[in-house]
Amino acid sequence: MASSGATAGLSLLSAATWGGSDFVGGWGARRASSLLITASGQVVSLAALLCICFVLRLPVPDFRYLVYAAIGGFEGAFALAIFYRALAMGAMGLTAAITGLLTALIPVLFNLLRTGWPGTLTVAGLAVGLASIWMISQSQRSSGSATPARALLLGACAGTGFGAQLILFKMGAEGGVLWALTSGRIAGATAILLTVAIARPKGGWRGFWLAGIISGCLDTVGNLFYMMASQTGRLDVAAVICSMYPAGTILLAGIILRERPTKRQLAGMGLALAAVALLSA
């Protein structure tokens, strides 16, 4: 009971901070390159994590835990680049929904194979949670334009990458959360900087630092809460609740930018609350 409640609570905190990170990053991307925003956030948060680890003199964990986290950070950064590319290719709603669903579904399937089926309430909560992620991720339909099959394929690849990252971060955190965060961030920052060097984004080189630092710090805190949640309870429960983070982005957009969510998104948020209640039981 206590473990389920702690996992749900930490996962909700992770979803809230990840949603805030995406909102700040998206807002900043209206004025600057999203790649530069992501890169600056990765670099600044990495510097902060290294300082914390060395100041606290945290013992370095076994090498394999650092490798798990590093692989997760590296492939997750490329999954993010693939996701941005998929969104740019066609209608965003279906692509984002497929990505969000697979982000949660991959850890769920992994944990089912690894530890077996959970109790009835947890199974119900996972099913409701996956349905809520699908509905929340659906945006307004574009003006009749169909989503290219390639965009859906790239969105599926990105979702698989994000889901694998959640699994690898959970495995890396078993050796120590802060060092896992740092290792993942080193690899992620390397991947993003390589992407920037290859892509050479044009324009938007001014004003990206503030958005990058805020979104990067929020993303790091979200990763911290997720890793803690994955250590207190079931991986699938943590992954599904954390993957509800688009709800936070939508709510912030509604409050700050006056962008009204769709009826489907509101219904998805209602389902998300029901899922959290079931998964906390």
Question: Helices (DSSP H) in the chain: which residue ranges?
Answer: 2-28, 34-55, 63-89, 92-115, 120-137, 149-173, 177-199, 208-232, 235-242, 246-256, 263-280
What is the Cα–Cα distance from 178 to 166, expressed in whole angstroms? 15
Number of domains in the chain: 1
pLDDT tens-place values along the chain, 281 residues long: 457 788 999 999 999 999 898 888 888 877 777 788 888 889 999 999 999 999 999 999 999 999 999 999 999 888 887 887 776 676 566 777 888 889 999 999 999 888 888 888 889 999 999 999 988 887 654 444 556 778 888 889 989 999 999 999 999 999 999 999 999 999 999 998 988 888 777 655 566 788 889 999 999 999 999 999 999 988 999 999 999 988 888 888 888 888 888 888 899 999 999 999 888 86
Q: Which domain holds residue 140?
A: 2-280
Q: How many CB atoms lie within 10 A of CB 109?
A: 13
CA dihedral 227, 218, 216, 249 (to 10 degrees): 110
